Amino acid sequence: MSRVLAVARRELGAALDSGTAWAAAALFILGLHAAFFFLGFPIGDRRVAGFWEGRTATLDAAFSWLPLFFALLAPALTMGAWSAERRSGTEELLLAQPLRPGEAVLGKFLATWLVSALLLAVAILPLALVVARLGPLDWGAVLCGLFGAMLLCAGFLAVGLCASALVTEELSAFLLAAAILLGLSSASLFVRALPPALSELAWYASPPVHYLDTATRGVLDARDGLYHLLLAALGLYLNTAVVEGRRWR
C-alpha cells in the first residue's frame, strides 16, 4: 500500500504542476455553473430548466450535466498518465522500481480520483449553498448526488487511464477516452431507435442511467454502485494488463 501511495503522491504533484489540469478544472467548474444557472438540461426526456428560469431549490440541472461533463473531464485528467510516461521514457524507469504494474495503475487512479473529488466538491457545494439561501434545499439528495457522482467518475477515470496506456500521444488518448465515454453516456438517448434487445442492453450499459435515476433523487441503490465499481475494476484490470504486457516485451 505504501508503494501505491507513493505513486499517488507523485501523480498529485504532477497534476498540480500541469497547466492542462488547471485549465480543465476551470472549464469544468465554469461550464457547469453556467449550465446550471442559465441553460438547464435540455437533452432527452430529463429536461430541467435553468435555475433562474425554473426558480426551484434543486441541483437537478447540475447533476444532469455531470455525466457529459465527466466524459470530457476524465480524459483531460488522465490523457497524460501513461502516454506522457511512454513518450518521455519515464515509464520504463517507473516500472524498473520495486513496483508491480497493478500498484502503479492503482496509484495513478487514486491520484486522479482525488483530484476529481476535489473538483466536484468545489463545483457543487457553492451551488448548493447559493440555492439553500434562496429556498428549502434537500441536502440528503445533494449528498447522495455527490456520492453517486464520485462513483460515476471512478469508472470514467479508469476508462481514461486505460485509453492513455494504449497510445503514445496525449491528444490521441483524450480523443479515444472521450469517444468511448461519450458513446456510453449517450447510449440511453437512442434506445427508442434500437431493436428491443439492443435497446435494453444500451440502457443498462449507459453510466448516466445508474446515476441520474437514483443518486440524484436521494436514493443509494447497491446495484448502481456495483455497476460503477465494476466499470472501474474493468478499466483498471485492462490498464494493468496493457502495462504488464509492455513490461515483458
- Mean of pLDDT over the chain: 87
Amino acid letter, residue 187: A
Nearest 5°: CA angle at 160, between 158 and 163? 110
pTM for this predicted structure: 0.91
In this predicted structure, the answer to whether residue 249 has a pLDDT above a threshold of 70 is no
**Three-class secondary structure of residue 69 per DSSP:** helix
Joined grid coordinates for residue 91? 515509464
Q: State pLDDT tens for residues 205-242.
A: 888 888 888 888 888 888 899 999 999 999 999 999 99
Of residues 128 and 54, the one with the higher pLDDT is 128
CA distance 161 to 76: 10
CA distances from 44 to 66, 200, 207 (A): 15, 17, 15
Contact 53, 142 (CB under 8 A): no
Grid cell at residue 22: 488547471
pLDDT in tens, 35-57: 999 888 877 667 787 778 777 87
Binning pLDDT at 50, 70 and 90, where does residue 157 land? very high
SS3 41: strand
Type and span of the H or E element at 79: helix 60-88
pLDDT band at residue 194 under the 50/70/90 scheme: low
pLDDT range class, residue 31, cuts 50, 70, 90? very high
Higher pLDDT, 165 or 57: 165
pLDDT score at 151: 94
CB atoms within 10 A of CB 49: 15
State mean pLDDT over 181-206.
Answer: 77
CA distance 211 to 208: 5
